[in-house]
Structure 1
Amino acid sequence: MVFIYAKTPRVLSRHQDVQDELERIAFEIAVRAEEILIQHRADGDSSIEVEEGDVDKYVVLSDERGQKAALSIEYGRAASRVTRKDSFGNEFEVEVPGMDGLYVLATASGLPKKRKGRVKLD
């Protein structure tokens, strides 16, 4: 008979062999993701980073511009019109073309490529 205690998963997840394997897998995914991103990037602020939680490792597509560009890179975006202001305060509209997603993280990690559904806000 086997008894599983509440702390068993936590103990196992913190074991050095498990942590070493998580680090190895995260590194491999990050390298593949960086290769995919480099193939499509002429210039830009996007990068692949590996972040560590308490137990888990995370491979992240980061974009420091704050324009949700990482989300658009991964899943794509629809064409839209955006209102901008120039340095004199004049407003003008800009057509932002749509683009297909590159699915950098999904491809690198072997996950299925799924477009996220849009949420309709009332």
Structure 2
Amino acid sequence: MAHVESEIGGRRLEKWLAVHKGVQAELTARAFEIAVRAEEILVRHRADGHAEIDIEAGDNNRYVILSDDRGQKAALSIEYGREESVIVREDRRGKKYLDTLPAMDGLYILATASNLPKKRKGKVKLD
């Protein structure tokens, strides 16, 4: 019967594989491919927004991020959409008024670029 070592060089097998130079290079390449596809999708839909696609590296992972930090901080709404809502706005004189933020379908930029299923985030029901 075969014996499988659980450690290599003092590291657990999973950790050793995760930090392997070839695995890290492939993660970087895949993240770049996803980011390029996401940027192409975002550019098709961007009118005057500030949203952008970023890649961040963790210890052993790569993250493709839809960021709207420079704009309205609406990355979640861009990805998944939103329902109509009423918000309070303030004009230049400081007078407050109610405004309607229209519903918007999600663009599923990251899901599409990653070939993942498009799932809308549901409402949380409180009982």
Q: TM-score range by the shorter chain?
A: over 0.9
> Any gaps of 5 or more consecutive residues in structure 1?
none
Structure-1 residue corresponding to 2:4: 2
Give yes or no for contact 2:85–2:101 (8 Å, CA) kept in 1.
yes
Q: Find the aligned partners of 1:118 and 1:68 in 2 and give their Cα distance.
A: 20
Q: Find the aligned partners of 2:101 and 2:33 in 1 and give their Cα distance.
A: 34
Code of the aligned partner of 1:117: G
Code of the aligned partner of 1:57: R
> Any gaps of 5 or more consecutive residues in structure 2?
none
Seen in structure 2, the aligned counterparts of structure 1 residues 38 and 51 have a Cα distance that, compared at 3 Å, is same
How many residue pairs were aligned?
A: 122
- Please, which of 50, 55, 71 is the counterpart of residue 50 of structure 1? 55
- In the TM superposition, what are the counterparts of 1:84-99 in structure 2 within 5 Å? 84-99=89-104
Task: Give the Å deviation of 1:117.
Answer: 1.2
Identity over aligned residues, as a percent? 59
Structure 1 runs, 4 residues or longer, greater than 6 Å off: none
Seen in structure 2, the aligned counterparts of structure 1 residues 66 and 43 have a Cα distance that, compared at 3 Å, is closer
TM-score by length of 1: 0.93
Determine helix, strand or coil for the equivalent of 1:10. Answer: helix
TM-score by length of 2: 0.89
Residue 23 (str. 1) matches residue 28 (str. 2): yes
Task: Give the Å deviation of 1:65.
Answer: 4.3
RMSD: 1.6
Whose radius of gyration is greater, 1 or 2?
2
Task: Give the Å deviation of 1:3.
Answer: 2.4
